[in-house]
Amino acid sequence: MLFKVEMDVNVPIDYDPERFAALKQAEKERFQELQRAGTWRHIWRVVGQYSNVSIFDVASNAELHDIMMSLPLYPFMDVRVAALCRHPSSLHDDDR
């Protein structure tokens, strides 16, 4: 199942910079692990914001939920999720 996930990160201004740097590094490592597994298929930055738009390929809603909860920056995120399906006018035979 494909999902579009929009993530806005909102870290308090007075949050400890060293702790935040460690969280960002852990987030990057988790993202790359999921990307290598093919689960986090695409990610795009939103210009001028601490936000991204991503495409996830998971077996279920529950799997996506568990992945989102596992992200180190999740406590600071506002998340919007939309289920996706192949458009009938697409020239491609698959969703890759």
User: How does pLDDT run across 54-76, given as a tens digit for each residue?
Assistant: 999 999 999 999 999 999 999 99
pLDDT of residue 93: 75
Residues with Cβ within 8 Å of 40's Cβ and at least 6 positions away in sequence, in order, are: 31, 34, 54, 55, 56, 67
pLDDT of residue 86: 83
Looking at the 3D structure of the chain, how many domains does it have? 1
Asked whether the whole model's pTM tops 0.75, one would answer yes
Q: Are the beta carbons of 75 and 7 closer than 8 angstroms?
A: no
pLDDT of residue 8: 98
Q: Which two tokens stand for residue 5?
A: 């996930």
Give me the domain span that covers residue 11: 2-84
pLDDT of residue 50: 96
φ/ψ bin of 34: left (φ > 0), alpha (ψ from -120 to 50), beta (otherwise)? alpha
With a cut of 70, which residues of the chain have pLDDT below it? 95-96
Question: Is 63 among the domain residues?
Answer: yes
Residue 41 belongs to domain with CATH number: 3.30.70.1060
pLDDT of residue 96: 60
Question: Is 93 among the domain residues?
Answer: no
pLDDT of residue 9: 97
